[in-house]
Every structure is written in structure tokens, then in C-alpha cells.
Amino acid sequence: MQKGAIRVHTENIFPIIKKFLYSDHEIFLRELVSNAVDATRKLKTLSSAGEVKGELGELRIDIILDKENKTLTIADSGIGLTAEEMDKYLNQVAFSSAEEFLEKYKGENEANIIGHFGLGFYSAFMVSDKVEVFSKSYEEDAPAARWECDGSPEYVIEEVEKAERGTSVVLHVNEESQEFLEADRIRHILNRFCRFLPIPIFFEDKQINNTNPAWTKKPSELTTQDYQDFYKELYPFSEAPLFWIHLNVDYPFNLTGILYFPKIKKSFEIQKDKIQLYSNQVFVTDEVKEIVPEFLMLLHGVIDSPDIPLNVSRSYLQGDPNVRKINSHITKKVADKLEEIFKSNRKEFEEKWEDIGLFVKYGMMTDDKFQEKANKFLVMQDAASSTFYTLKEYRTATEALQKNKEGKLVVIYTTQPVEQDSYIKAAQEKGYIVVKMETLVDSAFINNMEMKWEDVTFKRVDSEIAENLIDASESSVSILNKEEEELLKNLFEIKKPALTVKVEVKGLSAGTSPVVATRSEFMRRMKDMASMGGDGMKWYGEMPDEVTLTVNGNHPVYKNILQESTKEKQEKMVNNLADLALLSQGLLKGSDLTNFISRSVELMEGKEEPKIIQS
């Protein structure tokens, strides 16, 4: 029997390991299972090199729970350890056998060895009062050995009987960690961290992992059904994805994975942190913001790379040139895929635009390189038809009518085609093409693109009367005389709570509505962005809504109003016209809306004295 002290430089290393090695204690199982995978892969490597005699037999890992004896065992049939190797690897904190093995067998499956830090084994002490290791080496005639440590610097190594090759790590679970003696808890951890490890893992006589997940195969080996089945395996309750991108890079870095475009719709039901990061099929994290561009955080799927640097807990990414290269590569692959679909099957692309558009617009705002490519396949849908335009196509279609005095293209858009229908129709009568901009990112997208597209400006269809959508029109001849215009203007000087109203009388076409309510493009945008929660925009959200009521002096209704015998009747009719205009902008609410309904009924009944609710 050999006895001695574990060689560490810090006397209190084990209390530090127990408390601070990993922020999440359940990680211990991932680390120990990963070590078992390494041991099995090392055996395969040695066998391929002709250094293992005889058959390897069934290579598997078993997780054994003994609630009565309060133990949890991780057993493998891998390379095993001799007593000397136990002393060398288990008694020196942060001495990694994986590192030494890689150096010796450099070039042979080195990317398949998971461990690099030599600390994963000691995570066992976060949940254990005592740890035992029983192991028999693949080396012929090497006796089996047992290693034991109770979390102090003291250890025991002794020769024991063990028939089968491999290693069993037995954790004597401490009182504070009894949760890890529950089968459901262990099953949950294994499903989270070990579901795609490359060696069969068994728990309660059932294999819990898929050893050959789709991303480890070549794209040529997979069918559409294979990709969809794997997506279902990752996200059992999600709708089928729109399409996917298979990543398979071996230079200048190693990267595999599959990224799926999920169905999101304009409801903007965002679910971030759906991309899972793996290292050699070991789950690491679903927080991948350093690796995946921000605008693609809405994607689903898997990324696997042994080249992504991790700290000792493998829980947080560290800054590294490879990470930036991978980020850029993913951006390029997504842009290339979108362009490929757009060119090869534009109809399919347009049918999926409602989902794809969110990614494209978000990407164009946040990534200049992506924006350069996306300029070719960004599309805008005509509000009145199923026609889609690229920016270039829209420019060509509107060249004659939609340029302002500065020579800029004016993109006229609607955020609510149903509510803004009258404005859309008025714009279309002028020959303008109105496109949909309905998602919650569109306010920010429009502002951003006006800075990036120097010769383009955007104007919402209800931000001005149709005559002024391109440039303010000075020629407006009214059939009313100056005195009548002034009288009408005074009648329209109405007071509304939380609303600043400006009135103007213009001679619009007789077919235009009697009153058109419009809102400043700038102020409306600011308020829209304020509603999305930006602290810097908050004060805009607190400002009263501003609206301009443009009274169409050429509409015949005003001759009738001006001929009314009583001012009360004139005010009643004018108020109704103003309220109708405000209603079209969604600005008639509460008691104002109640008054409008009441007044409308009274006008139809021909009553002289309407009962008005005081605001």
C-alpha cells in the first residue's frame, strides 16, 4: 500500500475547488462523463496505432445510482489507469493526462480529446464527501488499483481486484448534494450536457445519447428529412424550420454545426439563446453572443468547435481571434444562403419573407458587411398587392414620381395597412407605390437605412396629405373665400387631452376626405422608438401626440356646414369630422370616443341639444 500527500501549491485547494471551480455544481457530471469519453477515445486511438492487443469489446459508459448507499458511479470501458498513472494524474491538481496524451499522439484524433485543463476530475469533490476510483489499465498484466480521497490533501492508492478494463469513479455524495441521488435530476443533467456525446451512455439500462448527431455528418449524407428530424430532436415543440445552413469548416479553424431559421412571424415572439455551443460534442453553453452575430441570435441550432477558447469551467467564452473569425464566417454563410435562395427560388424567398425579413433587417442595422450583401435581397412588399420589390426595383418603378427636391428616392410605407387604408388609397391615386413596414424593428431599420443609404428617405403614408408626401405643395386653390377659410379654421380649433392639434385649410381635390389627420414623421418615429423602451428616447414618449388636421376646403360638405343657421350645429358637425380624422390615426380614445359615438347618434336623430360628456 502506498500513502502520501497530494502535491499542490495551495494548502486549501480543495475548499476552493468545492466552492469556486464551477458556478453550477451540476457541471461535475458533465466533467466526469467527458473524462470517461476521453478514456474511451484514447483506447480507440491506441488500438488504431496497433498498441492494444485483442478485441476492444463493447465501448460504453454507465451511470449507476445507488440511493441507499448514497453513491453515484461513472464507469467506462476505456483505457484505464495503472497505480503509477493514478499517482501521476490524480495526485497533481491541474496536471492533465489529456494534454500529455495529445503531445505523445500528436496528429492522431487530437481534436477528439475533450479535456485540456486537468481540473474536471476534481469537480467530483463539489458534491462528495469521498471519491473512489477503481481502474484497470489496457496494459497486459497491469494490476488494478484503487484511489481514494476524502477532499483533504491525503489520499490512498492500493492494489485491488477488478476483472474488466476501464475506470469507475465512485462519488460518495455529501449531505448538501442529496439532489444528485434523484434519478430525475441525473437524467435531466445527462440530457442537457451529454445527449450528443460520441460514446454510448447508459442510465437505468437505457441509452440516453445520440452518438452520431446530424452536424457530425457531411451534408451529402443527409436528406431534408434528416435535417428536420434533428431539429425536432433539439426542439420537440417547435414548428418545422424554414431552412438551415450546415457549417463544415476545417481551415483556418475547426467548426461544424447546423443553424436553423425558425418561424417567427411579425408577432416578434423572440426566443434568444436557442443556439447550443458544443466542444467535441460536449455541451458547453447556450449563451453564444460572442460567437454568433447579434442579429442571428434568433436562430436555432448547434455549433461545435474545439477551437473556441474556454476557461477552466468551460462555461464562458474568452476573447480570441478565432472567435471573431468564426463570427464573420457565420455571417458570410448566412448571407450567402439567403442570396442563394433569393436567386434560385425567389417565389419561395418571398413566401418566407414574413419570417426571414426580421433577420435581414436586424442584420443590416448591426453588421455593415452583411448589409452590403443584403442590399441585393432585401425586399419590400407592395401594400396593395403581392408584388415584392428590391430597393433597386422600387427605385426603377418610382423614378418619375417619388423623388424629392433634393433628388432623394422617397420610400412611402405603411405600418398598418388596414388602419391606414384611406391614406394608402390617396397615395395610390397619385401614382405612388406604398410598401409594408409592419414589424417592431422597422422604426429603427428605417432610421438606420436613411443613414446608410444616402440617397433614400422614408415617409409614412399618413405623415402628410397625399399631395405633400414627396414635397410640400404650395399650390392649393380652395373654392372657399378667405373669410370662410378663417371661420372653418376657428371651428376646428378643438381641445383634446394629451393631444396638440394644428389646423390648416387647403384646397385639395374634391374626392379627398373632408379632413385628413397627419402626424409628423420625425415625432412619430421618436415616439415609436420610445415605446420600445430606449432610455434615451423616454422623454419623447412622455410628450403629447402632435397631429395636423388638414381641412379640405374644396369638399362640398363645408358649404352645407357654413350654411347651418346655428353655431352649435356647425361645431357639432365639425367636431364629428375632426373625430373621424383622429380615429383614422388611432388618436380618439376614452371619453373623446364616447362623445363621438353619442354625437353621431344625435346628428342622425336630428336632436338640437346633444349631451356631451365632459373630458
Please spell the DSSP secondary structure of 545-608, one letter per residue. Answer: EEEEEEEETTSTHHHHHHT-S-HHHHHHHHHHHHHHHHHHTT---HHHHHHHHHHHHHHHHT-S
Question: Does residue 373 belong to any structural domain of this protein?
Answer: no
561 vs 459: which has the higher pLDDT: 459
pLDDT tens digits along 547-592: 888 888 888 888 888 888 788 888 888 888 888 888 877 777 788 7
Position 497 in a domain = yes
Residue 315 sits in the same domain as residue 382: no
Residue 455 and residue 525 in one domain: no
Q: Are 411 and 394 in contact, with CB atoms under 8 Å apart?
A: yes
Residue 275's φ and ψ, nearest 5 degrees, are -90, 130
Same domain, 497 and 575: yes
Pick the range with the lowest mean pLDDT from 182-191, 266-275, 517-526.
Answer: 266-275
Instruction: Note the Cα 222 to chain centre separation in Å.
Output: 26
pLDDT at 478 over 50: yes
CATH of the domain at 320: 3.30.230.80
Chain segment 182-223, per-residue pLDDT in tens: 999 999 999 999 999 999 999 999 999 999 999 999 999 999
Q: Which domain holds residue 330?
A: 214-343
Q: How confident is the model at residue 7 (pLDDT cuts 50, 70, 90)?
A: low
Picking from 343, 364, 390, the residue at the C-terminal end of a domain is 343
Interval 45-60: pLDDT, tens: 999 888 888 889 999 9
* DSSP class of 107: T
Average pLDDT, the chain: 83
Number of separate domains in the chain: 4
- Under the banding of pLDDT at 50, 70 and 90, the label for residue 17 is low
- Asked if residue 613 belongs to a domain, the reply is no
Residue type, 290: E
Only one residue has cell 417619388, namely 402
Residue 610 lies in a domain: no
* 382, burial (CB in 10 Å: exposed 0-12, middle 13-18, buried 19+): middle
> End of a domain among 157, 178, 205?
205
Q: What is the DSSP track for 438-507?
A: -STTHHHHHHHHHHHSTTEEEEETTSS-GGGSSS-------SS-HHHHHHHHHHT---BTTEEEEEEEE-
Q: Is residue 356 part of a domain?
A: no
pTM given for the model: 0.74
| Domain assignment of residue 183, yes or no | yes
pLDDT exceeds 90 at position 161: yes
Chosen domain end from 205, 228, 253: 205
Indicate if 199 and 233 belong to the same structural domain: no
From residue 133, how far is each of 7, 94, 264, 329, 429 by CA, in Å? 18, 18, 49, 43, 83
The domain that holds 66 is classified in CATH as: 3.30.565.10
Could you tell me if 33 and 77 lie in one domain? yes
Dump pLDDT digits (tens) for 227-263: 999 999 999 988 899 999 999 988 788 899 999 998 8
CB 576 within 8 A of CB 596: yes
Q: Does pLDDT of 473 surpass 90?
A: no
Q: Which of 47-56, 248-257, 285-294, 376-385 has the lowest mean pLDDT?
A: 285-294
Judge whether 550 lies within some domain.
yes
Q: What is the pLDDT of residue 97?
A: 53
> Both 241 and 194 in a single domain?
no
443 and 584 share one domain: no
Residue 9 lies in a domain: yes
Q: What is the pLDDT of residues 77-133, one digit of tens each?
A: 999 999 999 988 887 764 455 455 456 545 554 444 334 435 678 888 889 999 999
The CATH number given to whatever domain includes residue 488 is: 1.20.120.790
Closest CA relative to residue 615, chosen from 583, 589, 585? 589
Both 277 and 330 in one domain: the answer is yes
Residue pair 506/479 in contact (Cβ under 8 Å)? The answer is no
pLDDT at 135: 96
The pLDDT, as a whole number, for residue 264 is 73
Q: Do 93 and 128 lie in a common domain?
A: yes
**Alpha-carbon torsion (576, 581, 583, 588), positive or negative:** negative
